[in-house]
Chains A and B, each alone.
Chain A
Amino acid sequence: MTIIHNRPLDDIAETAPTIAGNAFTRAFSGGSLWRLIGMLVLILILGFLTIYPLAMLLYGSLHSTPPGMAGEFNLNGYRSIMTTQNLIVLANTIGISLAKTIPSLTIAVFLAWIVARTDTPFRGTLEVLITLPFFIPPILTAMAWGMLANPQVGVINMVWRWLTGGTDPLVNIYSYGGVIWHMCQYSIPFLFLFMVDAFRAMDPSLEESSRMCGASRWTTFRKITLLLMLPVLTSSFMLSFIKGIETFESALFFGLPAGIKVITTDIYESINHRATPDYQYATSLSFAIMGLMFLLVIWQWWMLRGKSFQTVTGKGFRPSVMELGPWRWVTFAFCVLFFFVTVVLPIGQLMLGSFFRFFGFYTYDMLTLEHYRSVFANSEFWRAVRNTMMLGLLGATATMALGAIVAYISVRTRWRGRNLIDSMAWLPWMMPGMVLGVGFLWAFAMLPGPIPIYGTIWALLLAYIALGTPVSVRVMTGAYHQLSYDLEECSRVHGASWFQTMWRIMVALAWPAFAVGWVLTFFGIMRELSASILLYSVGSETLAVVLMKLWANGNAEQVSVIGLMMMLLVIVFRWVQLSFIKARISKL
């Protein structure tokens, strides 16, 4: 260690007082120039990732020509989105989101209750299976369901016709119902993950004391359990509703063919599917939807203000588990059915599709491996694999590092400006991927010449980091909150500098959360479609974009092959995460 710079009482009076230590310790222990510079750099990075695209969105919505071209400023964009047709789009968006949120929340509550509060057999395994669909990229299940429930050649309808002898299809995925059904498959596991710990961590004595006061089981559920859960239910509802408005894939695959438009697909269409892309229209619409999201987020915040999310004291108690008797096999079957419908069916369809020459013609003589061969021989496919992997690894690492730093500063320090960076990091939360994509489209195009980000893979990387930052900050904030300040201070008192404490105590204790967040972000990047589809160009395609292109060309068989491999990757990653990271966390 460094020499102790303490000085005798009298010595101090004469010499000019200076703070001992090297520049780095000074920078991060007391207030100083270095800390200021560090904060400025952080503010610049976050500003570039969030404020800049936002500002460019406003700029673009007022600008009459596409990015990078000379034009004039006018309000034509806003004028052009004020149509009755767009009112229908808005009504569709909100209606579909509501229609999927309510059944999803009901089912998710039921599943969470089954897993956390009943004696249903194999609850641990069921929990893993129920949450699996959340990690599968929606584009995969969308394509699988497009094949499963296609009104003409879908497997479900073929089986139905064979069973009944009729000619009418049982289900048609290209409908409102189809869009909602596909969205539900993601909402349910997402809401389940969000709520299950609240169910599990509830202090059973709160319910038991109600029973002791003479309330029946049902009254207790209504007056105690449900009301205690109300904050978490409300926030789940809002979150699911907001996510529903942001969804792109479901409406793209099942809504557009049936003429059902929502805001995200409308933005996409006006840029990609018109003879001349109408950037001003798309940007104005993006800015308008962001206004809507802003209002929703404010409403959410207002509704939940002052409400505690915690029904837990942090003590480890076993939740009271309800004994269901023979009914526990019914709840078990329900969970298995959910897993079967959301995972087994789509995977089965992809397998089926990948081995037959033509999708829809499932006879013995049509069996082939040619799709595997053509996919593996496809250089575009390999490039997309490389791109996706690189974006995933780099993006997840950068996002988590940024999140870890922002969360540390906003949670554990009293530095000036910590609230600013916290709000900046949170901004993308109310920007759907599509909107952020449009914003970055403008942002990169408006950069001065020597910074050629536009059209490169770095454009995608920056967009992914921006999209992932709110979640990574949230994850790391939670992790830091759980670590008592004493652990840090104790290290300082016993002789460790700020950096030593950071490395030996904070990083060492927070890394499991970091790893969990990393995997989440990685999955997020792998599934991302809405921003990628606006920002990719030749050479920087991701797997999701390649899938999208193949699907548009009607190449469902090769889609199945790629989809199957992505599915495999998801399952392997999830398995590693569960068996490795969970084991490390439980050791701590």
Chain B
Amino acid sequence: MASVTLENVSRMYGAITAVDNVNLKIKSGEFVTLLGPSGCGKTTTLRMVAGLEKNTGGRIAIGDNVVSDSEKGYFVPSERRRLGMVFQSYAIWPHMTVFDNVAYPLRIRRRPDKEIQDRVMNALRLVEMEQYAERPSPALSGGQQQRVAIARALVFEPEVLLLDEPLSNLDARLRTQMGDDFRALQQRLKITALYVTHDQAEAMALSDRVVVMHGGRILQVGAPEEIYRRPENRQVAAFFGTPNLLNATVKDCRPNGGQYYKLSVEGQGWSGDCHAATEMPKGADVTVMVRPENLHVRDAGQVNGDLSWSGEVSQAIFRGSHRSIMVKTPAQTLHVEASSLSNVDIGRPVTVAAPVEAAWAVRN
């Protein structure tokens, strides 16, 4: 297994910049996900690693080998990069059986028949498809096609496995299951994997590190929890779920003892403490992010958290696993995810509270 290095990689289509100066180092055996809305350049980045697109700037290396260097005009075509790839459409060749599909990378490399037989069956066993080997591939369901695509990508032990939204064509239940299976397989085989998705839940569940992209640029790279709880800016914060983003002014800033700073902030009709990554001067405008699931609804006037807002319930929606409650406060309407057992009446005056660890401030 090899690492992947992207140095100042760019891709222009005429005057349009699809990927803008991306720097990324993927360690051997690491699972990295490129996450972002459609058109953010994540698929283009993946395709440049695959050699299906030429980067117009920067260079790409797989392991110790440079595979593309735009300045030197050096470009290794896809077929010599020793990669495995799972396409969004799976790209299962309809004129071959399951076995032939998986055997393809080996046959292309002129391996002996015996070896092909063994390795294909091993790969199929890995994805629990060995009993379907002789099936014609159009007779497979979506989930089965996906497994075959993974087996085909793994069969010749590629340097790196590339996956382009491989789960997006599956239904919700299957998507979760296939994702978990695939993560287990990746950890067992210690494959370097570069994964593209627009699904945040998928990205967090699968990856060692998540790369959030927007407009062709990398916004933040980090472990899923890091990115979810401590985003570097408002854009990253807004990308995961529907957080409450409140405007506030810094009153005081002091080190927390750990790696963060503790801020005292004041907003419209509320004040309290929260955390931030950097030191901020007094009077600076910040955005405070509080996730709906970390907010609690209490009876009016009851305060024992670090942050609190008073207001009245304007809407309550039962969602099965939880209850979405909208609380109208002088600052703005707050979205709270409460237990589905909690019963709230619309119009009731309440206090909304959050612990200091749940509030994260970023500079505007």
Interface residues of A (CB under 8 A from B): 1-2, 4-9, 12, 17, 19-21, 25, 29-30, 484, 486-487, 489-497, 500, 504-505, 508-509, 587-588
Apart from A6-B81, A495-B80, what 12 extra A-B contacts exist at CB < 8 Å?
A1-B108, A6-B62, A6-B76, A8-B65, A9-B61, A9-B66, A17-B73, A20-B80, A484-B91, A494-B84, A495-B79, A509-B93
How long is the Cα–Cα vector from A452 to B82 in the complex, in angstroms? 53
Scan B59-82; emit 1 where CB is below 8 A from any A CB, else 0. 001101111010011111111111
In the complex, the answer to whether A21 meets B138 with C-beta atoms within 8 Å is no
In the complex, the answer to whether B108 meets A509 with C-beta atoms within 8 Å is no
In the complex, the answer to whether B77 meets A487 with C-beta atoms within 8 Å is no
User: Which residue of A is nearest B110, CB measured?
Assistant: A1
In the complex, the answer to whether A588 meets B138 with C-beta atoms within 8 Å is yes
User: What are 22 pairs between A and B in contact, CB < 8 Å?
Assistant: A9-B61, A17-B72, A25-B77, A30-B77, A484-B89, A486-B90, A487-B93, A489-B52, A489-B91, A490-B93, A491-B104, A492-B51, A492-B52, A493-B78, A494-B79, A494-B84, A494-B85, A494-B105, A494-B153, A496-B79, A505-B93, A508-B95
Scan B281-300; emit 1 where CB is below 8 A from any A CB, else 0. 00000000000000000000
Q: Would A486 and B93 be within 8 Å (CB), given that A12-B66, A493-B83, A494-B104 are in contact?
A: no
Q: Would A30 and B75 be within 8 Å (CB), given that A6-B66, A8-B65, A496-B108 are in contact?
A: yes
B50 within 8 A of A: yes
Question: Across the interface, which residues of B come within 8 angstroms of A4, CB to CB?
Answer: 65, 80, 82
Scan B112-147; emit 1 where CB is below 8 A from any A CB, else 0. 000000000000000000000000101000000000
B94 within 8 A of A: yes
Question: Across the interface, which residues of B come within 8 angstroms of A508, CB to CB?
Answer: 93, 95
In the complex, the answer to whether B91 meets A486 with C-beta atoms within 8 Å is yes
How long is the Cα–Cα vector from A9 to B109 in the complex, in angstroms? 26
In the complex, the answer to whether A493 meets B51 with C-beta atoms within 8 Å is yes
Q: Would A8 and B51 be within 8 Å (CB), given that A1-B108, A487-B91 are in contact?
A: no
**What 6 A-B pairs have minimum CB-CB distances, sorted nearest first?**
A6-B65, A486-B91, A490-B91, A494-B105, A17-B74, A492-B78
How long is the Cα–Cα vector from A495 to B109 in the complex, in angstroms? 7
User: Which residue of B is nearest A1, CB measured?
Assistant: B109
How long is the Cα–Cα vector from A4 to B50 in the complex, in angstroms? 15
How long is the Cα–Cα vector from A30 to B77 in the complex, in angstroms? 9
Interface centre among A5, A6, A20, A487 (most CB of B within 10 A): A6
User: Which residue of A is nearest B74, CB measured?
Assistant: A17
In the complex, the answer to whether B78 meets A500 with C-beta atoms within 8 Å is no
In the complex, the answer to whether A5 meets B77 with C-beta atoms within 8 Å is no
In the complex, the answer to whether B89 meets A12 with C-beta atoms within 8 Å is no
Interface centre among A9, A491, A494, A495 (most CB of B within 10 A): A494
User: Which residue of A is nearest B63, CB measured?
Assistant: A6
B162 within 8 A of A: yes
Scan B19-30; emit 1 where CB is below 8 A from any A CB, else 0. 000000000000
Interface centre among B62, B78, B88 (most CB of A within 10 A): B78
How long is the Cα–Cα vector from A8 to B74 in the complex, in angstroms? 12
How long is the Cα–Cα vector from A416 to B122 in the complex, in angstroms? 45
B152 within 8 A of A: yes
Q: Would A495 and B108 be within 8 Å (CB), given that A20-B80, A486-B87, A487-B93 are in contact?
A: yes
User: Which residue of A is nearest B77, CB measured?
Assistant: A29
User: Which residue of B is nearest A584, CB measured?
Assistant: B95
In the complex, the answer to whether B94 meets A489 with C-beta atoms within 8 Å is no
In the complex, the answer to whether A492 meets B89 with C-beta atoms within 8 Å is no
Question: Across the interface, which residues of B come within 8 angstroms of A588, CB to CB?
Answer: 94-95, 138
Interface centre among B87, B90, B91, B153 (most CB of A within 10 A): B91
In the complex, the answer to whether A493 meets B109 with C-beta atoms within 8 Å is no
In the complex, the answer to whether A5 meets B76 with C-beta atoms within 8 Å is yes
Question: Across the interface, which residues of A come within 8 angstroms of B84, CB to CB?
Answer: 493-494
**A220 → chain B closest CB, angstroms:** 33
B360 within 8 A of A: no
B156 within 8 A of A: yes
Question: Across the interface, which residues of B come within 8 angstroms of A489, CB to CB?
Answer: 50, 52, 78, 87, 91
- Checking A9, A20, A494 against B76 with a beta-carbon cut-off of 8 angstroms, the contacting residue is A20
**Size of the chain B interface, CB-CB below 8 angstroms:** 43
**B197 → chain A closest CB, angstroms:** 17
**A342 → chain B closest CB, angstroms:** 37
How long is the Cα–Cα vector from A504 to B105 in the complex, in angstroms? 12
User: Which residue of B is nearest A489, CB measured?
Assistant: B52
Question: Across the interface, which residues of B come within 8 angstroms of A587, CB to CB?
Answer: 136
- Checking A9, A21, A493, A495 against B50 with a beta-carbon cut-off of 8 angstroms, the contacting residue is A493
- Checking A8, A17, A492 against B64 with a beta-carbon cut-off of 8 angstroms, the contacting residue is A8
In the complex, the answer to whether A6 meets B80 with C-beta atoms within 8 Å is yes
In the complex, the answer to whether A21 meets B104 with C-beta atoms within 8 Å is no
How long is the Cα–Cα vector from A168 to B65 in the complex, in angstroms? 92
Question: Across the interface, which residues of B come within 8 angstroms of A7, CB to CB?
Answer: 65-66
In the complex, the answer to whether B79 meets A8 with C-beta atoms within 8 Å is no
Scan B24-52; emit 1 where CB is below 8 A from any A CB, else 0. 00000000000000000000000000111
How long is the Cα–Cα vector from A30 to B74 in the complex, in angstroms? 11
Question: Across the interface, which residues of B come within 8 angstroms of A29, CB to CB?
Answer: 77
User: Which residue of A is nearest B82, CB measured?
Assistant: A4
How long is the Cα–Cα vector from A588 to B138 in the complex, in angstroms? 7
Q: Would A497 and B66 be within 8 Å (CB), given that A1-B109, A490-B87, A588-B138 are in contact?
A: no
In the complex, the answer to whether B66 meets A8 with C-beta atoms within 8 Å is yes
Interface centre among B50, B83, B108 (most CB of A within 10 A): B108
In the complex, the answer to whether A6 meets B67 with C-beta atoms within 8 Å is yes
User: Which residue of A is nearest B104, CB measured?
Assistant: A494
How long is the Cα–Cα vector from A491 to B51 in the complex, in angstroms? 12
Question: Across the interface, which residues of B come within 8 angstroms of A490, CB to CB?
Answer: 85, 87, 91, 93
How long is the Cα–Cα vector from A384 to B72 in the complex, in angstroms? 62
**B50 → chain A closest CB, angstroms:** 5
User: Which residue of A is nearest B111, CB measured?
Assistant: A1
- Checking B67, B88, B94, B162 against A493 with a beta-carbon cut-off of 8 angstroms, the contacting residue is B162
Q: Would A21 and B85 be within 8 Å (CB), given that A7-B66, A12-B74, A494-B108 are in contact?
A: no
Question: Across the interface, which residues of A come within 8 angstroms of B152, CB to CB?
Answer: 494
How long is the Cα–Cα vector from A422 to B52 in the complex, in angstroms? 25
Question: Across the interface, which residues of A come within 8 angstroms of B82, CB to CB?
Answer: 4, 495
- Checking A1, A5, A509 against B94 with a beta-carbon cut-off of 8 angstroms, the contacting residue is A509
How long is the Cα–Cα vector from A486 to B88 in the complex, in angstroms? 9
User: Which residue of A is nearest B67, CB measured?
Assistant: A6
In the complex, the answer to whether B69 meets A17 with C-beta atoms within 8 Å is yes
Interface centre among B77, B82, B94 (most CB of A within 10 A): B77
**B115 → chain A closest CB, angstroms:** 14
In the complex, the answer to whether B80 meets A5 with C-beta atoms within 8 Å is yes
Question: Across the interface, which residues of A come within 8 angstroms of B79, CB to CB?
Answer: 492-497
How long is the Cα–Cα vector from A8 to B64 in the complex, in angstroms? 5
Question: Across the interface, which residues of B come within 8 angstroms of A6, CB to CB?
Answer: 62, 65-67, 76, 80-81
Question: Across the interface, which residues of A come within 8 angstroms of B95, CB to CB?
Answer: 508-509, 588
How long is the Cα–Cα vector from A491 to B77 in the complex, in angstroms? 12
How long is the Cα–Cα vector from A25 to B75 in the complex, in angstroms? 13
Question: B231-274: which have CB < 8 Å to A?
Answer: none
How long is the Cα–Cα vector from A17 to B74 in the complex, in angstroms? 6
Question: Across the interface, which residues of B come within 8 angstroms of A20, CB to CB?
Answer: 76, 80
How long is the Cα–Cα vector from A523 to B122 in the complex, in angstroms? 50
How long is the Cα–Cα vector from A30 to B136 in the complex, in angstroms? 34
Question: Across the interface, which residues of B come within 8 angstroms of A509, CB to CB?
Answer: 93-95
**B238 → chain A closest CB, angstroms:** 32
- Checking A19, A493, A504 against B85 with a beta-carbon cut-off of 8 angstroms, the contacting residue is A493
Question: Across the interface, which residues of A come within 8 angstroms of B108, CB to CB?
Answer: 1, 494-496, 500
How long is the Cα–Cα vector from A491 to B108 in the complex, in angstroms? 9
User: Which residue of B is nearest A493, CB measured?
Assistant: B85
**B25 → chain A closest CB, angstroms:** 13
How long is the Cα–Cα vector from A7 to B64 in the complex, in angstroms? 8
User: Which residue of A is nearest B52, CB measured?
Assistant: A489
User: Which residue of A is nearest B75, CB measured?
Assistant: A19
Question: Across the interface, which residues of A come within 8 angstroms of B105, CB to CB?
Answer: 494-495
Question: Across the interface, which residues of A come within 8 angstroms of B74, CB to CB?
Answer: 12, 17, 19
In the complex, the answer to whether B75 meets A486 with C-beta atoms within 8 Å is no
Question: Across the interface, which residues of A come within 8 angstroms of B153, CB to CB?
Answer: 494
How long is the Cα–Cα vector from A497 to B77 in the complex, in angstroms? 9
